[in-house]
Amino acid sequence: MNSLAEPRKWEKFFWPLLATGLLLALWHYSVIWTATRVFPSPRDVEKGLAELLRHHVLWADIRDSLRRVAFGFGAAALLGIPVGLTLGWYPVANQVVNPSLQIVRPISPIAWIPVAIIFFGVGDGASIFLIFLGAFFPIVVACVDGVSNVPSVFRRTGRNFGLTAPQLLARVVFPAALPQILVGLRIALGIAWLVVVAAEMIAVDSGLGYLVIDSRNSGKRYDLVVAAILLIGVIGLVLDFGIRRLERLKPVRWGFRSES
Amino acid sequence: MAPALKTKLSVENVSVTFKRDGKSTAVLENIDLEVREGEFVCLLGPSGCGKTTLLNAMAGFLSPTSGEIQVDGEVVRGPDPRRIFVFQERGVFPWLTVEGNIGFGLFKLPRAERERRIAHYIKMVGLEGFEKAYPPELSGGMKQRLEVARALAVNPDMLFLDEPFGALDSITRLVMRRELLRIWEAERKTIIFVTHDIDEAVQLADRVVVMSARPATIQEIVDIDISHPRDISAARYLELRDGIFKQIGLAHHV
Amino acid sequence: MNRRAWIRPLLFIAVLLILWEIAARRQTAHLLPGPWETAGGIADLVRHGLLLKYVVASLFRVTWGFLLAAVLAVPLGLTIGWYRRAEMAFNPIIQILRPISPLAWIPIAILWFGVGDVAAIFLIFLGSFLPLLLTAINAARSVPAVYVNAGRNFGLGPARLVYRVLYPAVVPQLIIGLRITLGIAWLVVVAAEMIAVNSGLGFLIIDARNAGNRYDLVVAGMVIIGVIGLLLDTGMRSLEKVKSFRWSYSED
The pairing of strands B40-44 and B23-36 is unpaired
Per DSSP, what are the bridge partners of residue B207?
Answer: B41, B223
Query: Which CATH number covers residue C143?
Result: 1.10.3720.10
Q: Is residue A54 less than 8 Å (CB to CB) from chain B? A: no
- CB neighbour list of residue B24: distance below 8 Å, 6 or more residues apart: B17, B18
Look at residues B128, B155, B182 and tell me which one is the last residue of a structural domain.
B155
CA pair distance B77, B61, nearest whole angstrom: 8
| Burial of B190: CB neighbours in 10 Å, binned 0-12, 13-18, 19+ | buried
> pLDDT tens digit string along B160-188?
999 988 888 888 888 889 889 988 888 88
Q: What is the DSSP string of A198-250?
A: HHHHHT-SSSHHHHHHHHHHTT--HHHHHHHHHHHHHHHHHHHHHHHHHTTSH
Which amino acid type is present at position A92?
Answer: V
Give the pLDDT mean for B70-97.
90
Q: Are residues B114 and B58 in the same domain?
A: no
Q: Are residues B20 and B143 in the same domain?
A: no
Domain A64-201+243-253 carries which CATH code? 1.10.3720.10
- Residue A161 CB neighbour total at 10 angstroms: 25
Q: Is residue A114 less than 8 Å (CB to CB) from chain B? A: no
> pLDDT tens digit string along A7-21?
778 888 888 999 999
Supply the mean pLDDT for chain C.
Answer: 87
Q: Are residues B110 and B168 in the same domain?
A: no
Q: How high is the pLDDT of residue C243?
A: 62
Q: Is residue A251 less than 8 Å (CB to CB) from chain B? A: yes
Q: How high is the pLDDT of residue C23?
A: 87
Q: What percent of chain C has pLDDT over 70?
A: 95
| Inter-chain touch C111–A111, beta carbons under 8 Å | no
Indicate the DSSP class of residue B163.
S
Domain edges within chain A: 64-201+243-253
Please answer whether residues C14 and C22 qualify as being in contact, where contact means their C-beta atoms are separated by less than 8 angstroms. Answer: no
Residue of A nearest to C202 (CA): A111
Q: H or E element: which one contains B152?
A: helix B140-153
Q: Are residues B55 and B138 in the same domain?
A: no
Q: How high is the pLDDT of residue A5?
A: 65
> pLDDT tens digit string along C32-71?
888 988 999 999 899 998 899 999 999 999 999 999 999 9
Please answer whether residues A117 and A126 qualify as being in contact, where contact means their C-beta atoms are separated by less than 8 angstroms. Answer: yes
CA pair distance C78, C65, nearest whole angstrom: 20
Confidence of residue C251 (pLDDT cuts 50, 70, 90): very low
Residue B88 lies in a domain: no
- The alpha carbon torsion through B81, B82, B87, B93 (nearest 10 deg) reads 30
Q: A219 or B96: whose pLDDT is higher?
A: B96
Q: How high is the pLDDT of residue A245?
A: 92
Residue of C nearest to A189 (CA): C99
Q: How far is C227 from chain A (nearest CA, A)?
A: 6
Give the pLDDT mean for A155-179.
94
- CB neighbour list of residue B192: distance below 8 Å, 6 or more residues apart: B9, B35, B41, B42, B43, B55, B58, B158, B159, B160, B161
pLDDT of A259 over the 60 cut: no
Q: Is residue A256 less than 8 Å (CB to CB) from chain B? A: no
Q: Per the structure, how many domains does chain C have? A: 1
| Inter-chain touch A209–C221, beta carbons under 8 Å | no
Look at residues B139, B155, B171 and tell me which one is the last residue of a structural domain.
B155
Residues 170-199 of C with CB under 8 A from A: 183, 186-188, 190-191, 194-195
Q: What percent of chain A has pLDDT over 70?
A: 96
Q: Per the structure, how many domains does chain B have? A: 2
CA pair distance A147, C138, nearest whole angstrom: 25
Residue B137 lies in a domain: yes
Residue C231 lies in a domain: yes
pLDDT of C155 over the 50 cut: yes
Q: Are residues B72 and B169 in the same domain?
A: yes
CA pair distance A62, A48, nearest whole angstrom: 16
| Inter-chain touch B61–A157, beta carbons under 8 Å | no
Torsions phi, psi for B199 (to 5 deg): -60, -40
Supply the mean pLDDT for chain B.
Answer: 88
Strands (E), B3-154: 7-20, 23-36, 40-44, 66-71, 74-75, 83-86
Q: How high is the pLDDT of residue B7?
A: 87
- A139-148, A188-197, C199-208, range with the lowest pLDDT: C199-208
Nearest CB to A107; choose among C13, C92, C222: C222
Residue B87 lies in a domain: no
In angstroms, what CA-CA distances link A94 with A141, A165, A173, B251? 10, 18, 17, 54
> pLDDT tens digit string along B12-47?
989 888 888 788 888 888 899 999 999 999 999 887
- CB neighbour list of residue A104: distance below 8 Å, 6 or more residues apart: A137, C226
Q: H or E element: which one contains B161?
A: strand B158-162
Q: How high is the pLDDT of residue A258?
A: 54
| Inter-chain touch A160–B95, beta carbons under 8 Å | no
Residue C170 lies in a domain: yes
Instruction: Please report which residue ranges of C83-116 form alpha helices under DSSP H.
Output: 84-97, 106-113
Please give the model's pTM, rounded to 2 decimal places: 0.87
Q: Which domain holds residue B229?
A: 1-82+160-254
CA pair distance A70, A48, nearest whole angstrom: 28
Q: H or E element: which one contains B209?
A: strand B207-211
> pLDDT tens digit string along A69-105?
999 999 999 999 999 999 999 999 999 999 899 999 9
Q: H or E element: which one contains B221?
A: strand B218-223
Please answer whether residues B57 and B162 qualify as being in contact, where contact means their C-beta atoms are separated by less than 8 angstroms. Answer: no
Q: How high is the pLDDT of residue C19?
A: 92
* Among the listed residues A211, A228, A237, A210, the one whose alpha carbon sits nearest the alpha carbon of residue A45: A228
Give the pLDDT mean for A202-218.
88
What ipTM was assigned to the predicted interfaces of this complex?
0.87
Nearest CB to A16; choose among C16, C84, C88: C88
Q: Which domain holds residue C224?
A: 35-244
Which amino acid type is present at position C9?
Answer: P
Confidence of residue C252 (pLDDT cuts 50, 70, 90): very low
Q: Are residues B242 and B177 in the same domain?
A: yes
> pLDDT tens digit string along C77-135?
998 988 888 999 999 999 999 999 999 999 999 888 888 889 999 999 999 999 999 99
Question: Which chain A residues have a beta carbon less than 8 Å from that of C141?
Answer: 260
Residue C215 lies in a domain: yes
Q: Is residue A159 less than 8 Å (CB to CB) from chain B? A: yes
Q: Are residues B104 and B76 in the same domain?
A: no
Rounded to a whole number of angstroms, the distance between the first and last alpha carbons of chain B is 36
Please answer whether residues C171 and C242 qualify as being in contact, where contact means their C-beta atoms are separated by less than 8 angstroms. Answer: no
Chains with 3 or more CB pairs under 8 A to chain C:
A
- Mapped to the 3 state alphabet, what secondary structure does C7-24 carry? HHHHHHHHHHHHHHHHHH
pLDDT of A248 over the 50 cut: yes
Q: How high is the pLDDT of residue C247?
A: 54
Residue C6 lies in a domain: no
